[in-house]
Amino acid sequence: MSRPNVHKLPQFLRKDSKGYFLDYRVEADGLTRRKRVRLGQVPLAQAKKVLAEHTQEIVSGKYLAVDKPRVTFTEAAESFLAFSKARKKSHRRDLISVRHLTAFFGNRPLESLNPSAVEDYLASRRAEAGRKGKTLMGSTLNREIACLKTIARRAMLDRLIDRNPVEGLRMFREQSRNRTLTPEEYQRLLENCSLHYRPVVMLAYDTGMRRGEILGLKWDQVDLKAGVISLRADETKTQENREIPLDGALKALIAGIPKTLGSPYVFTFRGHGLTDPKTAFLRACQRASIPDFRFHDLRHCAVTNFRKAGVSDSTIMSISGHKTYAVFRRYDRIDRGDRQEALERVRRFKDTNRTPIGHGEGSGSEQVVGG
């Protein structure tokens, strides 16, 4: 008979690092053998339910082949969100993705999903957007596919399922944005921003800091004497410490922001830290007649301006916080002016490397070296 255990679980039910399991003896071929049936990382209530359904068979010594409880998509998604909230900076985006996914898959067993079911989901999402007069971008659907894949991977790690039912799903090809501001557009944008929001835009444009990093900036992170903003690992998307340099103009900008009594935040409105001001930014762009521009595009502007000023890629990445060169390159926009400047530089190079032909032949013609 199964003895009491340290977890104070019912007879025949045990738990270890891999989750709950049934532990009992069976008679087979005249021999008594120990039998363990894994239930995985399921809730205790579900494990007890499985035990209750088969207790009589266990007591009678019959061979018991218990099917692993079939976890639903909703249950797996809830488990994933707990992980996301504790570990991921993109938790808010995960909440949105899970809401759409759960509305479609609901209590369907997770292991029953397959690529065809996901295609049905994507078709449903497009149809829903079409009814609202909108078009879903591939990037939006990719975030939801990535979330679905992570839910399945987490369920495998928790031993809720034995295989990944959505393995091999292909993402949509994304078109990276190619939108930066001209100097004239930037001035118009500043002129149309509210006074309390204008410094936020200026800091993003000059440093490439992410919106969340700016809105969550606290006074104890700012050292005007040293001319730096210090971002701790738990405050950055990449979970690494980062230091943002401040020049004279930015130091003067921050020094001119009045501190709000009782608030640790640099940027406040009506006594409270700023929340995500997406609507305010869109309205400022509309008033400034700046189409197709988002707050995150200010990060593209900063990276591009650093590069045009001759700052090395490694230095830019240390400021912007990009961990991989591939992602960094997507933020460095090559525009028409860059291409024209490239041709003019080549022309100047050729002109400075022209040498006379012949030396004494009197032809007076020239030869382009290396041309």
User: Distance (Å, rounded) from C-alpha 222 to C-alpha 263?
Assistant: 15
Tokens of 174: 């994304």
183-331 matches 73-157 in CATH topology: no
The shares of helix, strand and coil residues in the chain, as percent rounded to the nearest 5, are: 50, 15, 40
Separation of CA 224 from chain center: 31
Helix, strand, or coil (residue 204): helix
Residue 151 token pair = 């839910």
> What was the pLDDT predicted at 332?
67
Q: Where are the domains of the chain?
A: 13-59, 73-157, 183-331
pLDDT tens digits along 201-238: 999 999 999 998 999 999 999 999 999 999 988 778 77
Token pair belonging to 171: 């993402």
How far is CA 11 from its chain centroid?
Answer: 45
CA 47 → CA 21, 81, 124, 155, distances in Å? 8, 22, 35, 16
Give the chain's residues under pLDDT 50. Answer: 1-2, 63, 65-66, 359-366, 368-371
Q: Name the token pair of 182.
A: 């001209």
**The whole model's pTM is what?**
0.60
CA 9 to chain centre: 40
- pLDDT for residue 287: 95
Evaluated on CA atoms 278, 281, 286, 289, the torsion sign reads negative
Q: Check residue 293 and give its pLDDT.
A: 93
CATH class label, 73-157: mainly alpha
Quote the pLDDT of residue 371. Answer: 45
pLDDT at 333: 64
**DSSP codes joined into one string, 207-257:** H---HHHHHT-BGGGEETTTTEEEE-GGGSTTSS-EEEE--HHHHHHHHTS
Q: Give the phi and the psi of residue 349 in degrees, each rounded to 5.
A: -65, -45
| Helix 138-157 vs helix 73-87: crossing angle, to nearest 10 | 100
pLDDT on residue 370: 47
CATH superfamily of 183-331: Intergrase catalytic core (1.10.443.10)
- Output the six-digit token pair for 155: 């369920």
Give, for 126, the enclosing helix (H) or strand (E). helix 115-131
For residue 119, what pLDDT is reported?
93
pLDDT at position 199: 95
